[in-house]
Amino acid sequence: MAATDLAIDVQGLTKSFDGRKVVDAVDIQVRRGEICGFLGPNGSGKTTTIRMLCGLLEPDAGKGTCLGYDIRRETRRIKLRVGYMTQKFGLYDDLSIEQNLDFVARVYRTKDRARIVGAALDRLGLVERRKQLAGSLSGGWKQRLALAACLLHAPDLLLLDEPTAGVDPKARRDFWQQIHELAAEGLTVLVSTHYMDEAERCHRLAYISYGRLLAAGTADAVIAQAGLSTWEVRGAELTRLQVLLARDPAWMVVPFGTALHVSTASSDDLPQWLAQHEAGDWHVEPVKTSLEDVFISLTRDARDNFA
């Protein structure tokens, strides 16, 4: 793959706080026009990584480029070409929707500001609410406003840090429709999320836990790389079965509605194991390993960098 095909190309990205590595030798590549899902548990280093990519934090170690600019020496150029949507949205509650957008446009010294702001209001369905104060908006409408603000300066890359946290399912669906439309127009997107249904909407994934990159690739590739076998178990006394399986580190057990999902990276066969260890009125059948199964397994086996 040619370097010009990559919007993000970094190697060995490392950052420590108070002597502890929050990001530890992370490599990330994201193709131009691609939606890359950046996943991991809370405190895994996702936000720190995003801030290093856009020039807000200087890495302790590592090198690479963002939009062709060196992440150490050309941070100002990166900032001008990136739209960064933080977890807190970064809005001024006492300004209206239109005033918030006009302020951001002024910061970027956007030419033809009134037209650009008007186009952003129209694209994100904010025209009728343009006079409403940002502080009075619901989570979904704040999300739309924050996305509109990120797009005012026509960036080449969007960095979205858990943008759908706290918004309802319809707002999440509408948001992802917008993201895919933007990607189809050539915009590159790196989006951190905890939602597995959102991860499956991404072209590629990168999974980080305790500061280390544990998996990268398409959803199907990440599942295949994990090498897990998974079964669904239904029946009575599932709590007893869960306690029993938890005694053996080979098994990963996750309640899944009225069933259990049991996974293993070993060659063990669950029905055979149950026949040897415990009798019970359980119905066991193999199922396709999900992204959630894989990510829980990866997190469980990762080493805590604060331990």
Confidence of residue 165 (pLDDT cuts 50, 70, 90): confident
* pLDDT of res. 305: 60
The pair of three-digit structure tokens given for residue 222, joined into one six-digit string = 């990440």
Tell whether the model's pLDDT for residue 159 goes beyond 80: yes
Confidence of residue 86 (pLDDT cuts 50, 70, 90): confident
CA atoms of 43 and 24, how far apart (whole Å): 13
What are the structural domains, with CATH classification, of the chain?
Answer: 3-223 (3.40.50.300), 229-288 (3.30.70)
Task: Summarize pLDDT for 110-154 with one digit per residue, the tens.
Answer: 989 999 999 999 999 999 999 999 999 988 899 899 999 999 999
Task: Summarize pLDDT for 276-295 with one digit per residue, the tens.
Answer: 877 678 899 999 999 989 98
* pLDDT of res. 307: 56
Q: Please report how the helices 97-107 and 139-151 are oriented relative to each other, as an axis angle in degrees rounded to 10.
A: 30
Given a contact cutoff of 8 angstroms between Cβ atoms, the answer to whether 233 and 283 are in contact is: yes
Pairing of strands 35-39, 20-31: unpaired
Task: Summarize pLDDT for 174-208 with one digit per residue, the tens.
Answer: 999 999 999 999 999 999 988 888 999 999 999 99
What average pLDDT score do residues 95-106 get?
Answer: 95
- One-letter amino acid at 189 equals V
* pLDDT of res. 130: 93
Given a contact cutoff of 8 angstroms between Cβ atoms, the answer to whether 157 and 7 are in contact is: yes
Task: Summarize pLDDT for 250-269 with one digit per residue, the tens.
Answer: 899 988 889 999 999 988 89
Confidence of residue 275 (pLDDT cuts 50, 70, 90): confident
Out of 9-13, 19-23, 197-201, 250-254, the most confident range is: 9-13
Tell whether the model's pLDDT for residue 301 goes beyond 80: no
* pLDDT of res. 3: 58
* pLDDT of res. 166: 78
Strands (E), the chain: 6-17, 20-31, 35-39, 61-66, 69-70, 82-85, 157-161, 188-193, 204-209, 212-217, 229-235, 252-256, 259-264, 282-287
**pTM (two decimals):** 0.89
